[in-house]
Chains A and B, each alone.
Chain A
């Protein structure tokens, strides 16, 4: 398959049409020569007709392609192209006429070959004008096309195609069959000519221009018709009639009818044009308002558009817009065409107007409608108050002013209240978006905090061959106040710590970090658990908020003596499984939370204890989040449940014990139940 590049088809059809025209000219001149010299040239008229049809088709295809490529589909541009073609054709006709005028009565003026040449030029120009204009009208007709219109157009085109071949059947220009076909084509063209939907979309100025262009088209087509008619009259000179073709005549009638319709409709559309434009502007303004605010824009832009749109919709002489910041502290954001003094005066008038105040203090903000007000004195005689409502509260108001009485009609008020509502939505969206962005930022910050806090808990626990250990922690919010850690103070001495800051969330997390700092420093001093608590209390008392405290348990494990020393500072008692008695109990001891007594009195409450451990003993340190976890019936997990669980599962490894405790806790709380507090545990098993 040979595929021609599509770019060349246009040029090809142009070249083809020129060639066809030249051969048409040649054929006809040869025939003329034969007739003049009484010789039979042997060329049948059918040859001319065929060439004529080919010429029509090539011009048609050239313009179809040409208009497809030129994407500029502005109505005015289309009409101008047609008008310019008409002017060009008319000018060519005029020049030829002047030429003959100039020749006067000379021999050349009677020269049949020259006359025939110009006759062909005329034919070509008329054809070009009619076909190009028809195709332009096609674009206008098929603007906002429906299936029905497209079908009508196709019927018309088929009719035209058939009309080209009509000449083969009868050369009787005004015979019955000719008139019959002509009437059918005229009716089809007339039906198509009512499709003038493009006209309302022209602006007032464009309408005037299109009137001018259309009148040019009408005048040139009348002129061309008269000229062609004159030529057709001189039959004897022209051996073959090219112009009395059904196709051309039908096209001519169609072009003329459509131009005339367009002209008249545009003319009668002129007075109502401004209304249509006004509505179109309103629609565009509405669209601008309804588009959500772009990130680079702000509320000001929306209010700006609102004020401009409302003023243009109501033909207001002045306006201002005020937004309430907080509690009636109004700030005037935009003022149009109003002097400062006038504004003050009008504001005072509004303040003193009882009706306006009643309107402003209306409780039902979401149903508040614009309110129009008469002013007796001053430049402005009517005011319109328009509320801006977000989320059932009035965030501001717009005041439109007109110099005439009762200046705001119902339509204006309707469209303005729609504008105001739309602008309010845009402002609300903008505010929500900002809020969302801010929230997003907080979430990010919290994520960072979470990561930092995770790093505060040890990723590796110190351990010894004589005990196994594991630990787990979970925060109710992103960050929490639980803490656990291990330290190796000597070859055979380990310290375990578990702590819990009162409250939860961010404040607890900060205190937890302080707790870690204090603990890490004090642990270096090799203090006994009791002393450790006293020092911790003193240090933490200085940095904790007044209503915050920390509970903690400290265990010191001496692996060579198998001795445990511990102290409890208000923390949940530690669960201990004794392998000898096969019983689990909570380690009893006194003690007071850190930061509760912030003076020397604290020492009195410290209670350090010690005991020896044995192989198989298990110790579970936890925070109150586990004990106080509640199920849907508001029952607490409680001490007893944890105790019996350990008693049953003491033979397992610390990891397994921990897993069972956590699983049981989650089952207890229930599928969707959330544990409302931070919870942590550390399980130690002696071997």
Chain B
């Protein structure tokens, strides 16, 4: 089960996926991010506090926007990941490419 909540705070678009992100529902996440990107969002923050699990398909979604966002100058930040989920980003090496923060404050401070 995955539900995705989107909020706008100042200039930041905050995406809050809650539940497990796997091959069956990663499309949902993809659609939400694409929607934000197409609507011209320049700063996307993903609130990772509600993510219980992310599979490689879910990671693939974040990965697929890396180059695109770099070209358009969109900043993508993830914060508040649970240790086990963070570990998955780390193993794959995505922590080197995406800015991952421990909490919302530090994400906004940057």
Contact = CB atoms under 8 A, between A and B. Distances in A.
Interface of A: 500-505, 546-549, 551, 569-573, 590-593, 596-598, 605, 624, 628, 634, 636, 676-677
B64 interface: yes
B60 A592 contact: no
Interface stretch (B1-9, B35-43, B91-99, B101-109): B91-99
A596 B91 contact: no
Interface in B65-110: 66-67, 84, 91-94, 96-97
Nearest to A591: B93
Contacts of B22: 676
Q: Which of B22, B59, B60, B97 has its CB near the most chain A CB atoms (within 10 A)?
A: B60
Interface residues of B, number: 23
Contacts of B91: 551, 570-573, 624
A184 B54 CA distance: 97
Contact of A592 (B53, B61, B92): B92
Contacts of A504: 23, 57
B56 A549 contact: yes
Interface string B47-62: 0000011011101110
Interface of B: 22-23, 26, 30, 52-53, 55-57, 59-61, 63-64, 66-67, 84, 91-94, 96-97
Q: Which of B22, B23, B64, B67 has most chain A Cβ within 10 Å?
A: B23
Contacts of B97: 592, 596-597
A680 to B, nearest CB: 14
Contacts of B60: 502-503, 547-549
A504 to B, nearest CB: 6
B33 to A, nearest CB: 11
Q: Which of A500, A503, A551, A596 has its CB near the most chain B CB atoms (within 10 A)?
A: A596
A504 B67 CA distance: 24
A595 to B, nearest CB: 8
Nearest to A569: B93
A134 B41 CA distance: 101
Contact of A551 (B57, B61, B92): B92
Contact of A624 (B56, B64, B66): B56
B56 A605 contact: no
Most chain A CB neighbours (cut-off 10 Å) among B23, B53, B91, B93: B93
B92 A593 contact: yes
Q: Interface centre among B55, B56, B64, B66, by most A CB within 10 Å?
A: B56
Contacts of A596: 63, 66, 92-94, 97
B84 A605 contact: no
18 contacts: A503-B60, A547-B26, A547-B61, A547-B63, A549-B60, A549-B63, A551-B56, A590-B93, A591-B93, A592-B93, A596-B94, A596-B97, A605-B93, A624-B56, A628-B53, A634-B52, A636-B84, A676-B22
